[in-house]
Amino acid sequence: MCSAEATGWRVSVLALVLLGCIAGCTESESPAGAAVNGTAGDSAESAAGSAVAAERPRIALVMKSLANEFFATMAEGAKTHATAHADDYELIVNGIQDETDLAGQVGLVEQMMAQQVSAIVIAPADSKALVPVLRKACDAGIVVVNIDNRLDTDVLREQQVQIPFVGPDNRAGAKAVGLQLAKSLQAGDEVVILEGLETSFNGQQRKLGFTEAATEAQLKIVASQSAQWEMDIANQQTAALLTAHPRLKGILACNDSMALGALAAVRAAERTDIRIAGFDNIGAVRQAIQDGQILVTADQHGDQLAVYGIETALELLQGVSAPGDGVAAQRTVRDRETAVDVITKETLSR
């Protein structure tokens, strides 16, 4: 065989090998998390479609417990927005199964970093523990937006990182809910507070808001303890509190799951004289309010809260001039306060 023929033969073999590699690469698995409007490596995409997909930013939504209806509603709202804006970005939805699974949420952030997403929108399970890994994400050039539960400002300062917060004023919202409950009680009546995780800023703020309302209405707080955002724990604690405080008249729960747990204990004790307040406006609590079993809750518009965070991330990404330039852009945005409304039987009937 002449040298030209040999060269041509080698080129042909090399081309076949390369084609085989390309075909194999297009069969790779999609990334961890639920991609809503596209996955990398879809072999059915046209060349033009692949180019468009490659230009779209990939935004990861990292939430707390997906078993909580509030966060399930948040995820659905984000997915609806992503579907309506499929040409603008790709959404990856993640969440943990337990409100206390901090290591699991840290692991999700690390997974999203490994996948080199453009932005992370996170509702942190803990206001302090998530800061170090989020700083790593920022250092890697990923835009980070904090929603729902504000990250601890002191820890952010220690870590020398700026992360914008998008969410409601939990303290003001809880105070408004507490004052609404107080209207059905009398000065001197005994109440208890069911707190969220003690290290969660939103739980701390809601406790403060409830405390302010009780003080202003001259109610007597006989106990305040953490039920860790969980329905079952709230049920057990409320049963014990009803025994310890037989003259109890009100329960202020820092989220709706705990309010439902408290309601189950109150019903089991056949106490019809106790007023219950929650926070989140999930479907089961709305029904309980209409049935007269829970008095009031707060609507922080969970179906839109993640959307607000995504919109903030997209705004930041527009200021990124090159891949990995998210840190500089992140310093240009301010916190965004979102609405929180008091929900009663009267407001639901409008």
Q: Mean pLDDT of successive 10-residue segments in the chain (350 residues)?
A: 39 36 36 50 41 76 92 96 98 92 97 98 96 97 96 96 96 98 98 96 97 98 97 98 98 98 98 98 97 97 96 88 51 83 96
- Alpha-carbon gap, residue 27 to 5, rounded angstroms: 34
Q: Which DSSP state fits 31?
A: P
pLDDT at position 37 = 57
Evaluate whether 55-168+302-338 and 170-301+344-348 have a shared fold. yes
pLDDT at position 66 = 86
pLDDT at position 177 = 98
Q: Bridge-partner residues for 185, per DSSP? A: none
- Map out the domains of the chain as residue ranges: 55-168+302-338, 170-301+344-348
Handedness of CA 134, 135, 137, 142 (dihedral sign): positive
pLDDT at position 182 = 98
DSSP string, 132-190: HHHHHHHHTT-EEEEESSPPPHHHHHHHT----EEEE-HHHHHHHHHHHHHTTS-TT-E
pLDDT at position 22 = 37
Tell me the CATH number for domain 55-168+302-338: 3.40.50.2300
CATH class for the domain made up of 170-301+344-348: alpha beta
